[in-house]
C-alpha cells in the first residue's frame, strides 16, 4: 500500500507516540541496570562479513574463466581508446574538442573550452586527462547501451521492473569503495576495475531515464503507431524510442557525469596514471598546491563534459529545418575535416606538436604553495578556534550527548543538575511554543532533537532509536516503509555495526542540521531576489557537477585531517540540493494564489510565510531528501580525511582487501540512504496530498 | 449507395477491473440481461465501459457514436480497432471474424484496411509533417521516393501544401489535425475511425474542418465510425447516430429519427439543443438532407 494522508495524521494524532514515548522512557530508565539495552550485546551479532568472504573465496575461482574474458575485452577496448587518444596530436584533439563544444553550445562554450583545455595543457595534465577521458569514453557508451537495453526490458516486463528498481537504488547508493574490492578480486588488478566500477555507478541513471521516457510517451502516439500497422520492433524503434529520446538524452548526460566522478574515485586503487590519481597522491602527501591545480583540472573537465552533453541533449531535438544550401549545411563537420587534413599530418612529424612538450609546462606550484602557506598561517588561529568550537559545542554533544560532552575541560563548566533542568525546560518550552502555534510535527521534532542532543547518538539506547525511527517511518510511509526501516536497523545491529553507524549518524545529522537551514535560507533569498538567483545559479551548477573528491582539497588544506573537516566537506556537498529545491519550490507556487495573497493585502513577509512557504513544503521536503542522500554519499569520501563510522569501516575494508566488511558496511550506508529516501518521499507525498496538489 | 454491411459489432463487452469482474462479464454476457451483469461487475469493483454494444455499419456510411464524457465511446471504438481487446463479443468486418485474427494478420489488416484519427492528434514529435504522413507507408516497407510522393498527394488533399518540413509543434491545432487526417488516409484504408477529431479545435476551425471532412468523404466513400460528444456535430455529419449512456447504446437511428422520436427522456434531454436549433431555423428536413 502507498502512503496515505491517514498515516501522516497518525503522527499528528499522537496515539502512536504515546506507546513510543513509553518504550523510550522505560529503556532510558533501564539502560543502567540492563546491560543489553545500553549497547547491543556482542553475542547477538553474527558476522555475515565472514560468510561473504568465504563465498567470495569460493566464487572467485569458479567465475575467473568467463570474467577473465570480460576483463580482457574491456581491457582491450580501454587500451585502444587510450592508444588513440594518446597518439592523437594535442593540437588536433584540442581543435576537435573546441569544434564539438561550438556545435553544442555556440561561441561561449567554445571560448570556455579553449580556456579550460589551455589550462589543462599548460599545467602539464594533458596526457593524464586523456587517460581519464579514455576511461569515461569507454564506460559511457557501454553503460548507455546496457542501460537502454535494460530500460526497454523493464518497460516491457512489469515483473522485471519491480525487481530492477530496488537493485538500481542499491547500485546508486552503495558507496563505490564497497564494491571496488569484490571487483578487484573478480577481475584482477588494473584500470579495468575502475572501468567496471564506473559502469556499475553510471548504468542506473540511463535505465531510469529510459523507463521514464518510454512511460511518458503519450498513449495516443503509441496507438497511432499501432494503427499504422507497426509490429513490435517498429513500434519500439520508430515510435516509442524516438519519442522518448529527449528524456533519454538527459539520462546520457547523467550517466556521463556519474562515470566521470566514479573514474576519479576509482583512482584510489591506482593502476592508472590519470588525474584522479594525481589529486589523491598529492593530497595524501599534503602537497596542497599541486593537488589544488590537479583538482581544478578535474573540475574543468567535469564542467566541460557536463555542458557539452547537456547542450546536445537540449538542442538536437529542436533542430529546425536548416536553410543553408548543400555544402554549408554541416559547417562543424567541415571544420573537423579541415583540422584532420591540415593539422594532423604535420603534427605527426613535429615532436612538440605530437606530444605536449615538458618544457612548455608552466610550473607555478611553487608560487601557489607559498601563497597558500602564508594564507593558512595568517588564518590558522581563527580557523583553529572555529574548529574547536564546532567539535566541542556541536559535533561532540550530538554524538555522546551534552551529558558527557559538557565538562570543565571542553566547555569550561560543569554540567550541574541546575543546568540540566534549565536545558530540559528550554526544550519543553520550545515544544510547547510549537504546539501552541499549531504545529504538532514541529513540537515532536524539537523534542526529538532535544533528547538527541542530551544523550547523543551513542548514548541513546538502541531500542529507543529503533523504535523512534520505525515509528517515524510508519507515520510517513506506512507499513512497507516501517518494515524497510526495521530491516535496515536490524541488519546493522546484527552485523555489529551499530556503533560506527551511530558515529555516522551524528556526523550526518550535524551536517544536515547545519546545511539544510542554511540552504533553505539561501534558496529563499534566491527565490525572492532576482540577482541573487542569477548569481548563485552558475555556482550551484559548478558545485553539482564537481566530482566529490574535489571537495576535499580546500577544506583539507584549511582544517587538516579530522572530523571537523569531514563535517564541513559533507555540509558543502549537501548544501546545493537544499538551495535548489527551496528556490524551485517557492518559485513554482501558483501565481493565482500569490496574487490572491497580494490582493488580500499581504506584506512581502506575510506573502512568503503564509502563502508561499506552506505550498512549497512538499518540494522543500524533497530537497531535504536530496540533502540527506548527498550527505550519506559523501560519508565514505569524507572518511579519507578522517572520520570514524561506517564510511571509515568501508575505507578500512578497502585497505585490508576485506570484501565482506566493505560490502556489509557499504550496504548499511545504502540501506540507510534508501530508507531515508522512502521516509522523506512519504512525507513529501502526504504533505502534497494535504495541500491537494 | 451500396447498402451491404461492412462492419458489424455483436454483443460487445469491455470490462476494466479485477479478474473476477472479467469472469463475471464473460459468464453473464450470454444471458441477455445487461443491467444485471453490469451490476455484478460493479460489485466486483470492475467497470463495464462497454456493455452489450451491437450495431451494423454499412459500406460508405458515416456512423456516429455519441454520448457524454465517460460513456464508453472511445472504448467501443478502440475495441473495434483492437487497440484494446474486447472482453466479450464479436466483430465482423466484411463478414470475417475480426477478433479471431492473429497478431500478424492484425498488423497486416491495420496496414491496409484501417485508418484512425485521434482526439489529441497523436503525431510523432520527432518527425516532420511529411514524415508523419508517410509513416504508415514506411511501416509497410514502401520506398522513400514513392512514399513521399504519396504523402504529398495526401497533403494536397487536406490543403497543407508547403508545410512538409515543419515539425508538428510548429503547426496550429487545426493544421495538426489535418496532418492526423492525412496520415490516417495515407494507407488508403476502407474503414476510417475518428475519435473526437475536432473536439480540441475552436468552433470556427471546427466548422471548417467538418466541411472539409464532408467534402473529402463525398469523393472517398470510406466506411466511417466517428466519435463525438457534440450533438450538433453529429446531426451535421451523420448518416446514422448511436447514442451511448454508461456503456450501453440507448438508441440508434438517422439524425432525424432521433430528434423526432427520442427513445427515452435521456435522449430527449440530450438532443434538446439540436432540436431547438432546428426549430428556430424552421427547416429541419432540408438541413438533414
Ligand atoms: N484503461 C482503463 N482502465 C480503467 N478504466 C478505464 C480505462 N479506459 C477507460 N476507462 C473507463 O471507461 C469509461 C469509458 O471511457 P471512455 O474513454 O470510453 O469514455 P469516452 O466516452 O470516450 O469519454 P470522453 O468523451 O471523455 O473521451 C470511463 O469511465 C473510464 O474511466
Ligand atoms: Mg474518448
Over residues B159-187, the pLDDT tens digits come to: 888 888 899 988 988 899 999 999 999 98
Nearest to A265 by CA among A649, A548, A543, A665: A548
Ligand 2 centroid to Cα of residue A220, in Å, is 11
Q: Cβ–Cβ of B116/A227 closer than 8 Å?
A: yes
pLDDT of residue A646 exceeding 90, the answer is: no
Nine-digit cell string for B14: 469491455
Contact A110, A102 (CB under 8 A): yes
CATH code that applies to domain B61-86+103-283:
3.40.50.300
Confidence of residue A345 (pLDDT cuts 50, 70, 90): confident
Confidence of residue A502 (pLDDT cuts 50, 70, 90): confident
Please state, for a pLDDT cut of 90, what percent of chain A lies above it. 23
Pairing assessment for the beta strands B96-97 and B88-93 based on DSSP bridges: antiparallel
Contact B46, B21 (CB under 8 A): yes
pTM above 0.80, yes or no: yes
Q: Is B277 exposed, middle or buried (0-12, 13-18, 19+ CB in 10 A)?
A: middle
Chain A contacts of B181, Cβ < 8 Å? none
Q: Measured between CB atoms, does A238 come within 8 Å of chain B?
A: yes
Q: Which residues pair with B9 in a beta bridge?
A: B55, B91
Mean pLDDT (whole number) for B129-140: 93
Q: Where are the beta strands (DSSP E) in B67-145?
A: 88-93, 96-97, 114-117
Pairing assessment for the beta strands B191-195 and B223-228 based on DSSP bridges: parallel
Contact B243, B230 (CB under 8 A): no
Residue pLDDT, tens place only, B70-91: 999 999 999 999 999 999 999 9
Give the N- to C-terminal CA distance of chain B in Å, as an integer.
15
Residue pLDDT, tens place only, A413-442: 777 888 888 888 998 898 888 888 777 777
A 587-616: CB under 8 A from B: none
Nine-digit cell string for B179: 496532418
Fold assignment, A477-693: MetI-like fold (1.10.3720)
pLDDT of residue B281 exceeding 60, the answer is: no
Contact A440, A13 (CB under 8 A): no
SS3 per-residue string spanning A374-393: HHHHHHHHHHHHHHHHHHHH
CA–chain centroid gap for B154, Å, is: 20
pLDDT of residue A230 exceeding 50, the answer is: yes
CA quadruple A146, A148, A151, A157: dihedral sign: negative
Nine-digit cell string for A52: 561473504
Nearest to B122 by CA among B49, B221, B200: B200
pLDDT of residue A524 exceeding 90, the answer is: yes
Pairing assessment for the beta strands B240-245 and B62-66 based on DSSP bridges: parallel
Nearest CA distance, A229 vs chain B (angstrom) = 4
Give residue A271's pLDDT: 66
Q: Which of A220, A223, A229 sits opposite B111 (nearest CB)?
A: A229
| Sequential DSSP letters for A499-537 | HHHHHHHHHHHHHHHHHHHHHHHHHHHHHH-HHHHHHHH
Q: Could you give the dihedral angle defined by the CA atoms of residues B49, B54, B56 and B62, in that order, rounded to the nearest 10 degrees?
A: -30
Ligand 1 centroid to Cα of residue B216, in Å, is 30
* Mean pLDDT for all residues in chain A: 84
Measured between alpha carbons, how far is residue A301 from residues A201, A307, A336 in Å?
19, 10, 21
Q: Which residues pair with B243 in a beta bridge?
A: B66, B251
Measured between alpha carbons, how far is residue B118 from residues A424, B54, B65, B151, B222 in Å?
67, 23, 15, 19, 17
For B151-165, give one letter per residue: b (16+ CB within 10 A) or e: bbebbebbebeebbe
Mean pLDDT (whole number) for A431-457: 82
Give the three-class secondary structure for A48.
helix
Please state, in angstroms and rounded to a whole number, the distance separating the CA atoms of residues A201 and B48. Answer: 47
| Sheet with strand B47-58: strands edge to edge | B47-58, B5-16, B88-93, B96-97
Which of A221, A223, A224 is the best substitution to test chain B (most B C-beta atoms within 10 A)?
A: A224
Residue B28, C-beta contacts closer than 8 angstroms, at least 6 positions apart: B36, B37, B40
Chain A contacts of B85, Cβ < 8 Å? none
Contact A178, A665 (CB under 8 A): yes
Nearest to B56 by CA among B8, B95, B127: B8
Nine-digit cell string for A564: 571537523
pLDDT of residue A360 exceeding 90, the answer is: no
How many Cβ contacts (< 8 angstroms) between chains A and B? 74
Domain A66-315+329-363 shares a fold with domain A477-693: yes
Give residue B289's pLDDT: 40
Please state, in angstroms and rounded to a whole number, the distance separating the CA atoms of residues A337 and A680. Answer: 52
Please state, in angstroms and rounded to a whole number, the distance separating the CA atoms of residues B133 and B188. Answer: 12
Return the residue whose CA atom lies nearest to atom 20 of ligand 1. B70
Measured between alpha carbons, how far is residue B80 from residues A131, B87, B198, B249 in Å?
60, 12, 20, 15
Q: What secondary structure letter does DSSP report for A496?
A: T
Residue pLDDT, tens place only, B209-248: 899 999 999 999 999 999 999 998 999 999 999 999 999 9
Please state, in angstroms and rounded to a whole number, the distance separating the CA atoms of residues A248 and B180. Answer: 26
Pairing assessment for the beta strands B240-245 and B248-253 based on DSSP bridges: antiparallel
Nearest to A332 by CA among A557, A99, A94: A99
Q: The domain A66-315+329-363 belongs to what CATH superfamily? A: MetI-like (1.10.3720.10)
Q: Measured between CB atoms, does A245 come within 8 Å of chain B?
A: yes
Higher per-residue confidence, B10 vs A442: B10
Contact A667, A178 (CB under 8 A): yes
Return the residue whose CA atom lies nearest to atom 1 of ligand 1. B16
CA–chain centroid gap for B179, Å, is: 17
Q: Which segments of A216-274 does DSSP mark as H helices, in order?
A: 219-227, 232-234, 241-265
Phi and psi, residue B194, nearest 5°: -130, 120
Nearest CA in chain A to B164: A321
Residue A548, C-beta contacts closer than 8 angstroms, at least 6 positions apart: A261, A265, A573, A633, A634, A637
Please state, in angstroms and rounded to a whole number, the distance separating the CA atoms of residues A163 and A141. Answer: 24
Mean pLDDT (whole number) for A225-240: 93
Return the residue whose CA atom lies nearest to atom 22 of ligand 1. B74
Nearest to B109 by CA among B154, B89, B65, B139: B139
Confidence of residue A2 (pLDDT cuts 50, 70, 90): very low
Ligand 1 binding residues, C-beta < 6 A: B 16, 47, 49, 67, 69-75, 229
Q: Cβ–Cβ of A220/B118 closer than 8 Å?
A: yes
Give the N- to C-terminal CA distance of chain A in Å, as an integer.
20
Give residue A374's pLDDT: 87
Give residue A692's pLDDT: 67
A 320-359: CB under 8 A from B: 320-321
pLDDT of residue A480 exceeding 60, the answer is: yes
Give residue A693's pLDDT: 61
Confidence of residue A323 (pLDDT cuts 50, 70, 90): very low
Residue pLDDT, tens place only, A19-39: 777 777 777 777 667 777 767
Q: Residue B62: enclosing H or E segment and its boundaries?
A: strand B62-66
Please state, in angstroms and rounded to a whole number, the distance separating the CA atoms of residues A182 and B228. Answer: 63
Domain range annotation of chain A: 66-315+329-363, 477-693
Amino acid at each position: 500500500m502507498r502512503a496515505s494522508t491517514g498515516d501522516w495524521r497518525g503522527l499528528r494524532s499522537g496515539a502512536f507516540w504515546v506507546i513510543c514515548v513509553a518504550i523510550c522512557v522505560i529503556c532510558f530508565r533501564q539502560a543502567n541496570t540492563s546491560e543489553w539495552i545500553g549497547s547491543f550485546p556482542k553475542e547477538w551479532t553474527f558476522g555475515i562479513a565472514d560468510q561473504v568472504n568465504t563465498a567470495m573465496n569460493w566464487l572467485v575461482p569458479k567465475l575467473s574463466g568467463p570474467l577473465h574474458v570480460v576483463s580482457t575485452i574491456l581491457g582491450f577496448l580501454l587500451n585502444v581508446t587510450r592508444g588513440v587518444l594518446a597518439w592523437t596530436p594535442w593540437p588536433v584533439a584540442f581543435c576537435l574538442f573546441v569544434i564539438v563544444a561550438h556545435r553544442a553550445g555556440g561561441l561561449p562554450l567554445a571560448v570556455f573550452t579553449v580556456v579550460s583545455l589551455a589550462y589543462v595543457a599548460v599545467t602539464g595534465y594533458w596526457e593524464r586527462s586523456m587517460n581519464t577521458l579514455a576511461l569515461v569514453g569507454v564506460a559511457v557508451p557501454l553503460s548507455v547501451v546496457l542501460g537502454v537495453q535494460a530500460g526497454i526490458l523493464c518497460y516491457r516486463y512489469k515483473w522485471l521492473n519491480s525487481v530492477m528498481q530496488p537493485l538500481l537504488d542499491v547500485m546508486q547508493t552503495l558507496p563505490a569503495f564497497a564494491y571496488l574490492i569484490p571487483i578487484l578480486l573478480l577481475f584482477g588488478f588494473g584500470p579495468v576495475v575502475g572501468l567496471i566500477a564506473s559502469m556499475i555507478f553510471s548504468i542506473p541513471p540511463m535505465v531510469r531515464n529510459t523507463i521514464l521516457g518510454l512511460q511518458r510517451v503519450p498513449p495516443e502516439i503509441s496507438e497511432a503507431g499501432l494503427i499504422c500497422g507497426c509490429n513490435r520492433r517498429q513500434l519500439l524503434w520508430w515510435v516509442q524510442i524516438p519519442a522518448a529520446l529527449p528524456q533519454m538524452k538527459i539520462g546520457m548526460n547523467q550517466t556521463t557525469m556519474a562515470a566521470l566522478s566514479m573514474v576519479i574515485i576509482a583512482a584510489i586503487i591506482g593502476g592508472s596514471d590519470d588525474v584522479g590519481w594525481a589529486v589523491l597522491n598529492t593530497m595524501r602527501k599534503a602537497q596542497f598546491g599541486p593537488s589544488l591545480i590537479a583538482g581544478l583540472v578535474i573540475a574543468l573537465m567535469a564542467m566541460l563534459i557536463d555542458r557539452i552533453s547537456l547542450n546536445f541533449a537540449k538542442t538536437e531535438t529542436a533542430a529546425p529545418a536548416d536553410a543553408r544550401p548543400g555544402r554549408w549545411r554541416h559547417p562543424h563537420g567541415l571544420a573537423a575535416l579541415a583540422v584532420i587534413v591540415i593539422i594532423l599530418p604535420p603534427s605527426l612529424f613535429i615532436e612538440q606538436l605530437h606530444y605536449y612538450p615538458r618544457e612548455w609546462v608552466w610550473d607555478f606550484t611553487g608560487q601557489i604553495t607559498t601563497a597558500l602557506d602564508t594564507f593558512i598561517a595568517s588564518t590558522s588561529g581563527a580557523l583553529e578556534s572555529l574548529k574547536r568550537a564546532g567539535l566541542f559545542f556541536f559535533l561532540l554533544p550530538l554524538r555522546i550527548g551534552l551529558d558527557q560532552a559538557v565538562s570543565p575541560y571542553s566547555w569550561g563548566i560543569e554540567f550541574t543538575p541546575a543546568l540540566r533542568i534549565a536545558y530540559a525546560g528550554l526544550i519543553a518550552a520550545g515544544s510547547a511554543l510549537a504546539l501552541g502555534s499549531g504545529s504538532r510535527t514541529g513540537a515532536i521534532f524539537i523534542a526529538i532533537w532535544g533528547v538527541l542532543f542530551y544523550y547523543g547518538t551513542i548514548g541513546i539506547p538502541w531500542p529507543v532509536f529503533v523504535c523512534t525511527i520505525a515509528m517515524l517511518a510508519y507515520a510517513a510511509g506506512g507499513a512497507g516503509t516501517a518494515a524497510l526501516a526495521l530491516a535496515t536497523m536490524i541488519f546493522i545491529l546484527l552485523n555489529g555495526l551499530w556503533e560506527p553507524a551511530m558515529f555516522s549518524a551524528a556526523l550526518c545529522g550535524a551536517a544536515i542540521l547545519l546545511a539544510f537551514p542554511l540552504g533553505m535560507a539561501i534558496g529563499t533569498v534566491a527565490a525572492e531576489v532576482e540577482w541573487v538567483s542569477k548569481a548563485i545559479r552558475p555556482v550551484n551548477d559548478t558545485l553539482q557537477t564537481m566530482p566529490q573528491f574535489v571537495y576535499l582539497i580546500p577544506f583539507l588544506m584549511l582544517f587538516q585531517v579530522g572530523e571537523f573537516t569531514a563535517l564541513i566537506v559533507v555540509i558543502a556537498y549537501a548544501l546545493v540540493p537544499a538551495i535548489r529545491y527551496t528556490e524551485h519550490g517557492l518559485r513554482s507556487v501558483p501565481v493565482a494564489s500569490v496574487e490572491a495573497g497580494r490582493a488580500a493585502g499581504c506584506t512581502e513577509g506575510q506573502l512568503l510565510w503564509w502563502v508561499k512557504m506552506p505550498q512549497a513544503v512538499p518540494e522543500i521536503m524533497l530537497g531535504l531528501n536530496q540533502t540527506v542522500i548527498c550527505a550519506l554519499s559523501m560519508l565514505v569520501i569524507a572518511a579519507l580525511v578522517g572520520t570514524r563510522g561506517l564510511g571509515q569501516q568501508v575505507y578500512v575494508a578497502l585497505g585490508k582487501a576485506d570484501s565482506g566488511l566493505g560490502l556489509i558496511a557499504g550496504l548499511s550506508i545504502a540501506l540507510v540512504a534508501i530508507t531515508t529516501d522512502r521516509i522523506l518521499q512519504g512525507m513529501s507525498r502526504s504533505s502534497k496530498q494535504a495541500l491537494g496538489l | 449507395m451500396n447498402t451491404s454491411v461492412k462492419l458489424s459489432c455483436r454483443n460487445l463487452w469491455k470490462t476494466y477491473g479485477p479478474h473476477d469482474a472479467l469472469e463475471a462479464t464473460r459468464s453473464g454476457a450470454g444471458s441477455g440481461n445487461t443491467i444485471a451483469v453490469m451490476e455484478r461487475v460493479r460489485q466486483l469493483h470492475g467497470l463495464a465501459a462497454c456493455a452489450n454494444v451491437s450495431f451494423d455499419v454499412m459500406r460508405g456510411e458515416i456512423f456516429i457514436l455519441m454520448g457524454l464524457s465517460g460513456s464508453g465511446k472511445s472504448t467501443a471504438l478502440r475495441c473495434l480497432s483492437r487497440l484494446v481487446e474486447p472482453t466479450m463479443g464479436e466483430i465482423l468486418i466484411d463478414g470475417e471474424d475480426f477478433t479471431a485474427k492473429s497478431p500478424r494478420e492484425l498488423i497486416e489488416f491495420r496496414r491496409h484496411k484501417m485508418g484512425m484519427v485521434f482526439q489529441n492528434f497523436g503525431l510523432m514529435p520527432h518527425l516532420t509533417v511529411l514524415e508523419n504522413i508517410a509513416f504508415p507507408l514506411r511501416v509497410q516497407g514502401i520506398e522513400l521516393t514513392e512514399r513521399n510522393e504519396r504523402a504529398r498527394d495526401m497533403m494536397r488533399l487536406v490543403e497543407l501544401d508547403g508545410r512538409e518540413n515543419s515539425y508538428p509543434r510548429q503547426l496550429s491545432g487545426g493544421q495538426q489535425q489535418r496532418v492526423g487526417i492525412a496520415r490516417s488516409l495515407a494507407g488508403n484504408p476502407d474503414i476510417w475511425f475518428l475519435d473526437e477529431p475536432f473536439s480540441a479545435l475552436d468552433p470556427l476551425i471546427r466548422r471548417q474542418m467538418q466541411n472539409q471532412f464532408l467534402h473529402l468523404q463525398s469523393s472517398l466513400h470510406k466506411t466511417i465510425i466517428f466519435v463525438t460528444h457534440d450533438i450538433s456535430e453529429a446531426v451535421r455529419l451523420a448518416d446514422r447516430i448511436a447514442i451511448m449512456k454508461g456503456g450501453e447504446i440507448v438508441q440508434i437511428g438517422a439524425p432525424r429519427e432521433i430528434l423526432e422520436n427520442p427513445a427515452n427522456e435521456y435522449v430527449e434531454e440530450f438532443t434538446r439543443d439540436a432540436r431547438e436549433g432546428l426549430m428556430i431555423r424552421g427547416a429541419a428536413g432540408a438541413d438533414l438532407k
